[in-house]
Structure 1
Amino acid sequence: MATAVEDKHFFEGTEKLLEVWFSSTSNEDTRNLRTIERCHWEELLKLVQCEIISIVSDEDMDAYVLSESSMFVTSHRFILKTCGQTTLLLAVEPLLKLVANKCGFDKVQDVFYSRKNFTRPDKQHKIHRKFEDEVDHLDTMLKDGAAYCLGRMNRDCWYLYTIDCIGVMDPDQTLELLMWNMDQKKMKIFSKETCASGKEASEKSGISALIPGAQIDDFLFHPCGYSMNGLLPGGYYITIHVTPEPQCSYVSFETNVPQKSYHDLLKKILKVFSPGKFLMTIFANQESIAKDSPKDLENMTAVQGYVRNDHQHCLFKNYSLTYTHFSRPVL
């Protein structure tokens, strides 16, 4: 049971992640989510209990750093990732109405909602405390929902909700690395005591060098905590969020940058953050160059300094999904 002090200073770093691809039954190519004005996004985010801190854009995407994680908007894809006690699923129905009214998108082409199990589910809004309740809520708005759990249900696990139909036919892939029990020497970088700005934290930690060429928007919270979004040409992004407090340390890394193998990137990330445990998921559809990455990971029974605890590979729709869990060996 958490002590009063631990409870007061606890922050749930684990994020809720929603990705929705939209289309229209009229098949018009002029529809674009990026035409929705910022004020409408701000109203939507009030339902989630977070707000916009900054935004960067390129030809393909708008990337928002939020008070609790990030949001990405392309012409027909919406991604919202929020941590803490945010109420992400309360915004799904208003989102569907918003994009229909403002853009004419009347069809959900594909949807993915995922998260790791929470450290303190009791501190979440009632809609998010149990995955079963999240599934029931999504089923009221979406047809042919399909829910999955990977990992150990009584330990560390990862939940996924999607719809059971082939939607996205463009090359699509997502790597997500969720890390906890962090090295506190590394975590000290992500505090105002050590760094004056997000840029300084990005440079000192080595984040700036993880994926060269990215347009970076970073933010260092007071007294600690860090968020960054990075954009690359072609509609690619990276996003990193750090909860450095020792009693609830957590880091997430996510990118849709396509690679045949993510081994080298994984090693770089682990060198920057040095977690005690991590889980990794790789989504890739059959059109992606990353489609064979599950075979690559199957033989990766160990990473330097870590042992593999679980490894699962799933095939559904036109996607493959790999879940793998590592931890430092107990000495």
Structure 2
Amino acid sequence: MIMEHRDEEFPAAKYVNHELSMTLDSTDAFEGPEKLLEIWYAPSKDLLAGGLKSPKGLRAIPRTRWEEVLDHVHCKVLSVVQTEEMDAYVLSESSLFVFPHKVILKTCGTTTTLAGIAPLQDAVAQYVGYPRDKQPWRVFYSRKSFMFPERQVHPHTSWADEVAFLDAHYDNGTAYIIGNVNADHWYLYATRPQYFDPELRLPVNGVDLRSNVKLNDQTLEILMTDLSPVHASQFFTERLPTVSDGTDSMASSVSSLGAEADDSDPGHVLGNVVTKSTGIDQIYPTEQQIVDSFCFSPCGYSCNGLVKEGYYFTIHVTPERHCSYASFETNVPPSHYGMNDLDVLDKVVEIFRPGKFSVTLFDSEDNSLLTKKMPIHLASYKRTEKISYELDGYNLVFLSFEANRAKDTAVF
């Protein structure tokens, strides 16, 4: 775990599953594109109040219970970092983020993400006191088109099956297929915002919580395929320095709190090496971040980056040439670091140099350059598609790109 912070204002604790970390093998990994489930029980942690069992909200659910939920999804916990704002889990297949008021579950391969809904509802009812039969405030489910759809299992055997499964659990859901169905495209399921139940939540500063709440929320996702072989090779463990034992200097935390990072297994140690060598730790130029990363054997990489004030980024890489894929997701406001979304896009694409990639942006404020009709320059790529939607409380932009071998710069 790389802890870049230099003060005590960003404390963190970490758990590592060393037994699983030492034995996990990615030889049979093939399906990089993740299934992304995001469930909001309130618009913010401040609005998840009265009537619930714990002020911690979803964070009151213990790790052991999350592991039981993940058993239904068919993935395991590799490590967990806890900050004041969230719990971030690196999984054997991608990531889990737990906030007081929402949960984000992102899993790849043949995991059964939606099968985790029912056990999650049970856990939320038991530890948080949110009624099991009451619909969450909002639910989002999305994924890129699969590379090998015939290998998926129920309920992910088709988009129609996934929508039917979601409709069985939630009301007022709308399903979208975005992009060229004969090329890379993206699927989205979203429920409409639910009104608040005053018996569960108390008014805050005189606000009627039964009305819609304006959010300041943005999520940027970059989904990349056909990675440059040179850049993909950075994520093969056989090309990395040998880690003879857990005493490697990269395994220790530089936290001013003096807490040990507990990264004493090759997967986490090499993950730290790759995070530094690829420049992943420099996507956001801040020392106020923690990057929990893992390198799989013989190849593959996952990391969760935690930034102050409850912001995160997460990266997952499947580097094999026949199915190469990398994803980047974040809710970090780039303006906090003197950047915009295009700066972040440039940095991420430069790490992987994909042959194709798509970008999705959810923005509640419509303040991103990607949502506006402005001239944008991106070296060596041409835009092949741009689609915009207005959803309940959000603007959505979907962009597709492919490498432009004939020109140095594309304008779109």
Tell me the TM-score normalised to structure 2 length.
Answer: 0.74
Choose which of 235, 238, 241 in structure 1 pairs with 2:313: 238
Please list, as runs of the form range in 1=range in 2, the aligned pairs for 1:6-21 lying within 5 A after superposition. Answer: 11-21=30-40
Distance 1:295 1:80, change over 3 A: closer
Q: Which has the higher contact order (CA 8 A, sep 6+)?
A: 2
SS of equivalent to 2:320 = coil
Gaps of 5+ in 1: 1-7
Identify which range, 112-121 or 126-135, moves more after superposition: 126-135
Deviation at 1:204, TM superposition (A): 1.2
Q: Does 1:279 align with 2:354?
A: no
Taking the aligned partners of 2:214 and 2:51, their CA distance within structure 1 comes to: 15
Aligned residue number for residue 190 of structure 2: 162
Choose which of 198, 218, 222 in structure 1 pairs with 2:297: 222
Q: Is the 8 A contact 1:21 1:168 kept in 2?
A: no
Please list, as runs of the form range in 1=range in 2, the aligned pairs for 1:156-305 lying within 5 A after superposition. Answer: 156-165=184-193, 169-196=214-241, 197-211=270-284, 212-213=286-287, 214-259=289-334, 261-286=340-365, 291-293=366-368, 298-300=373-375, 302-305=377-380
Taking the aligned partners of 1:188 and 1:225, their CA distance within structure 2 comes to: 10
Taking the aligned partners of 1:216 and 1:273, their CA distance within structure 2 comes to: 18
SS of equivalent to 1:113 = strand
Deviation at 1:155, TM superposition (A): 1.3
Q: Is the 8 A contact 1:301 1:307 kept in 2?
A: no
Post-superposition CA distance 1:137-177 (Å, at most 9, x none): 00001010111111111211001101023666432110000
Distance 1:205 1:153, change over 3 A: same
Taking the aligned partners of 2:307 and 2:28, their CA distance within structure 1 comes to: 36
Identify which range, 110-119 or 169-178, moves more after superposition: 169-178
Distance 1:94 1:168, change over 3 A: farther
Please list, as runs of the form range in 1=range in 2, the aligned pairs for 1:102-121 lying within 5 A after superposition. Answer: 102-106=127-131, 107-121=135-149
Deviation at 1:56, TM superposition (A): 0.8
Q: Is the 8 A contact 1:109 1:168 kept in 2?
A: no
Distance 1:54 1:207, change over 3 A: same
Taking the aligned partners of 1:228 and 1:93, their CA distance within structure 2 comes to: 27
Post-superposition CA distance 1:35-76 (Å, at most 9, x none): 111111001101111000001111101100000000000111
Aligned residue number for residue 3 of structure 1: none
Q: Is the 8 A contact 2:370 2:397 kept in 1?
A: no
Q: Is the 8 A contact 1:298 1:311 kept in 2?
A: no
Post-superposition CA distance 1:91-132 (Å, at most 9, x none): 112211210121112340111100000011000003112111
Distance 1:122 1:57, change over 3 A: same
Taking the aligned partners of 1:314 and 1:278, their CA distance within structure 2 comes to: 19
Letter in 2 for 1:116: K
Taking the aligned partners of 1:150 and 1:232, their CA distance within structure 2 comes to: 31
Distance 1:169 1:93, change over 3 A: farther
Task: Note the aligned Cα RMSD (angstroms).
Answer: 1.9
User: What count of residue pairs does the alignment treat as equivalent?
Assistant: 320
Q: Is the 8 A contact 1:313 1:321 kept in 2?
A: yes
**Identity of counterpart residues, as a percentage?**
42
Taking the aligned partners of 1:228 and 1:9, their CA distance within structure 2 comes to: 20
Q: Is the 8 A contact 1:310 1:325 kept in 2?
A: yes
Structure 1 runs, 4 residues or longer, greater than 6 Å off: none
Gaps of 5+ in 2: 1-26, 43-47, 195-211, 242-269, 407-412
Deviation at 1:203, TM superposition (A): 1.2
Deviation at 1:31, TM superposition (A): 5.1
Deviation at 1:259, TM superposition (A): 3.4
Identify which range, 91-100 or 138-147, moves more after superposition: 91-100
Distance 1:96 1:168, change over 3 A: farther
Taking the aligned partners of 2:370 and 2:238, their CA distance within structure 1 comes to: 44
Aligned residue number for residue 4 of structure 1: none
SS of equivalent to 1:11 = coil
Q: Is the 8 A contact 1:17 1:115 kept in 2?
A: yes
Tell me the TM-score normalised to structure 1 length.
Answer: 0.91
Deviation at 1:301, TM superposition (A): 5.6
Structure (1 or 2) with the greater strand fraction: 1
Deviation at 1:294, TM superposition (A): 5.5
Letter in 2 for 1:191: F
Taking the aligned partners of 1:55 and 1:225, their CA distance within structure 2 comes to: 19
Taking the aligned partners of 1:184 and 1:111, their CA distance within structure 2 comes to: 37
In terms of Rg, which structure is larger?
2
Distance 1:258 1:92, change over 3 A: same
Letter in 2 for 1:13: G
Post-superposition CA distance 1:259-297 (Å, at most 9, x none): 3530111111111111111000110113xxxx2216655
